Amino acid sequence: MHEDIRRLADRIKGADRVCVLTGAGVSAESGVPTFRGPQGMWKNHDPTELATPQAFSRDPKLVWEFYNWRRTLLSEVQCNPAHTALAAMESLVPHFTLVTQNVDGLHRKAGSANIIEIHGNIWNVRCTSCGHERQDPSPNLGELPCCDVCGGLLRPGVVWFNESLDPELWRQSVEAASRAEVMLVAGTSAVVQPAASLAGVAKRFGALVAEINPEATDQSDMMDIALRGKAGEVLPKLLED
């Protein structure tokens, strides 16, 4: 692995354009449960069942209980070395784009700047009636939070399953992946689409693609470099001289 880390570190340092896709695994060492990991359940509910418009219209109280639980948990966690390493890497690379599936806001907290939050952000709330959107850092927004403009029911400002991604954010993500000389895919099971397709886009346009994950994924065979380790341990090593 040491040889692969050196090879990847050299490629990153020599690159003009780097694109990174992160998933729940880069927040795992902050103590944030992943979606599909061993402790990926919440009160015997599968998170992917709760992160849907259908679940919200069927039982908004349950879905808000789930999101208030995550907001409360996230309000108490710190960034980990994976987040800080990616923030440091951004300052080394002329054109660095961080595409994240995570909604926890920890990349921004760690100092990353050019972030594309393709699945939204849990700290955003949006009115289901008038569409008014605001950032709200409070850990718990109450059972059924209402819009302070029209009194309508608020929803988390995230992209649920079976909802479309913001077309402009997706276009920017595909552009960054297609222009990258190096594409890192860190902490994602590569199950969720279309996010997972970015690695294939980068590869098709000639990028060196590398995966950072303690476990193999369906994309591992496509990778030029697969670093079998924790993001919080591997990413900082890519910055060592």
Q: Rounded to the nearest 10 degrees, what angle do helices 81-92 and 2-13 cross at?
A: 40
Q: Select the binding partner of residue 145 from Zn ion, ligand BV8, none (C-beta < 5 to 8 A, by kind).
A: none
Type of residue found at 212: I
Residue 225 binds ligand BV8 (CB under 6 A):
no
Residue 126 binds Zn ion (CB under 5 A):
no
Residue 105 binds ligand BV8 (CB under 6 A):
no
Residue 177 binds ligand BV8 (CB under 6 A):
no
d(CA 18, CA 90): 9
Residue 84 binds ligand BV8 (CB under 6 A):
no
Residue 48 binds ligand BV8 (CB under 6 A):
yes
Q: Dihedral through CA 126, CA 121, CA 41, CA 27, nearest 10?
A: -170
d(CA 204, CA 197): 11
Q: Radius of gyration over alpha carbons of the chain, in Å? A: 18
Minimal distance, residue 26 CB to ligand BV8, in Å: 6
Please work out the total of residues on this chain that contact Zn ion, with binding judged by CB under 5 A: 8
Residue 68 binds ligand BV8 (CB under 6 A):
no
> Which residues make Cβ contacts (< 8 Å) with residue 202, sequence separation at least 6?
19, 177, 178, 180, 183, 209
State which residue has the least CB distance to ligand BV8: 25
Q: Which residues bind ligand BV8 (CB under 6 A)?
A: 23-25, 28-29, 34-37, 40, 48, 51, 101-103, 119, 158-165, 187-189, 191-194, 212-215, 217, 230-232
